[in-house]
Amino acid sequence: MSGDRRLHVLMLLDSSYPPLQGGGTEMQVRTLARGLRRRGHRVTVFAPVIPPAGDRMVARVDGVPAFRLPFPNWRFLGGVWLMVRLFLFLYSRRDRYDVWHVHSPRRLGAVAALLGSRLPKPQVVVKVASATELVTGTLSPKPNWIGRFQYFCLKRANAWQAISQRIAHGIAARGIPGERIAAVPNAVDVRRFRPAVQQAPGPVRFLFIGRLIRAKNLFRLLEAFAELLRTHPQAHLRIVGGGPQEAALKQHAAKLALGSSVEFTGHRSDVETLLSEADVGVLPSEVEGLSNTLLECMASGLPMVASRISGSEDLVRPGVNGWLFEPQDVQGLAQCLREAAEMSPEQRHELGAQARLMIENYASLDSVLDRILTLYRGKPLPIRTAAAAVSEGA
């Protein structure tokens, strides 16, 4: 493909679109679509209809057409029906798109990769968005027969996007040739998320934003925060988001006698305001790919307390822009919170400035789009670490 030709990109999702309340993969599709359109490229999204996204088969999201295919809620057969419909959709439009960008290495990705390998175009790019795929998903060492079939199809893709170094190594270990793997992180729009004006000194304010689900490890966060309050009773923790664990988490907070020190806000749409009112971001997850919350907090100039997992371990550098602890280590998490609380506002501000610099050089939307477009055009991309990106930008 010509290096300056405008492309028509089809984004393929296994989940509902547009995102309504969270959904990291869906939010990334929306972010990339906006950025590509600003550069003059055409983008179309294909996704199944999953409530509550609405039942219109064709919609427009930020000016981007989205084909949304309803399918019967039948175990196994519903998925087969969806795959057949996608095959027909792709084959009938085989000359329309330059790129099929698959955002989940599962059933729809398998169809796209297998069909795309038989056609002169498009370029098929498969994104691995969660480290879970390396353990229990299609890329696990011992997948079930469905996973084996999906991998048989997926390995025919032209390129693989790994959003963390851990995922890149996991894909390679599964047998995908290194020249087809590109470590390209999730993107954040640094024009939207910017550091707030430094506020007057006061009690330290921690912020978590995300779904209240088991993988986020929030019970351990509450326990660690209770430890912090023994020495820093004025500290405050704001937990933003909704989810199935909300009631249980509130009960646990009451059991720990956290009182007004912990605030549950439910789902909020004013993310930029919430970030501007915080001093430190917290992400205690057991598993991620590369969290959008992590990117948004760091882009907003917040130092991060994060678990040492996929994505976070690439971007958070202890003593430079935040703190890392081992997942499930309550005492380790409590110690990180304590170190953050004991810093002066000026010290935290300096760590936050380094967090912002990391994002600008490695995960800003423009930087990611440059690499994604290189991938779309079939050119090789070397493995590039976050630390190397910061050194290049220094």
pLDDT tens sequence across 259-281: 999 999 999 989 999 999 999 99
267 DSSP 8-state letter: S
Please report which confidence band the pLDDT of residue 380 belongs to, taking 50, 70 and 90 as the band edges. Answer: confident
d(CA 102, CA 113): 9
Among the residue ranges 248-252, 258-262, 363-367, 384-388, the one predicted with the least confidence is 384-388
Taking only the tens place, the pLDDT of each residue in 190-199 is 999 999 876 6
% of residues, the chain, pLDDT over 90: 74
Report how far apart, in Å, the C-alpha atoms of 297 and of each of 17, 210, 241, 327, 359 are. Answer: 24, 12, 15, 20, 10
The type of residue at 18 is P
Please report which confidence band the pLDDT of residue 299 belongs to, taking 50, 70 and 90 as the band edges. Answer: very high
Residue 305 has pLDDT above 50, yes or no: yes
pLDDT average, residue stretch 48-74: 74
- Which tops the pLDDT comparison, 81 or 357? 357
Q: What DSSP string runs through 299-360?
A: HTT--EEEESSTTHHHH--BTTTEEEE-TT-HHHHHHHHHHHHHS-HHHHHHHHHHHHHHHH
Question: Is the CB of residue 229 less than 8 Å from the CB of residue 235?
Answer: yes
- Which distant-in-sequence residues (6+ apart) come within 8 Å of 12 by Cβ? 46, 47, 86, 100, 101, 102, 103, 104, 108, 109, 112
Question: Is the CB of residue 157 less than 8 Å from the CB of residue 125?
Answer: yes
Q: What is the CATH number of domain 205-362?
A: 3.40.50.2000
Residue 256 has pLDDT above 90, yes or no: yes
pLDDT average, residue stretch 247-257: 98
Residue 51 has pLDDT above 50, yes or no: yes
Per DSSP, the three-state class of 69 is strand
| Region(s) of the chain under CATH 3.40.50.2000 | 8-185+364-383, 205-362
Taking only the tens place, the pLDDT of each residue in 63-111 is 999 888 877 677 778 778 889 999 999 999 999 999 999 998 999 999 9
Q: 8-185+364-383 adopts what CATH topology? A: Rossmann fold (3.40.50)
Cis peptide before 48 (omega within 30 of 0): no
Residue 394 has pLDDT above 80, yes or no: no
Cβ atoms < 10 Å from Cβ of 58:
8
Among the residue ranges 76-80, 247-251, 283-287, 371-375, the one predicted with the least confidence is 76-80
Beta bridge partners of 282: 305
**pTM for this model (two decimals):** 0.91
- Which tops the pLDDT comparison, 52 or 322? 322
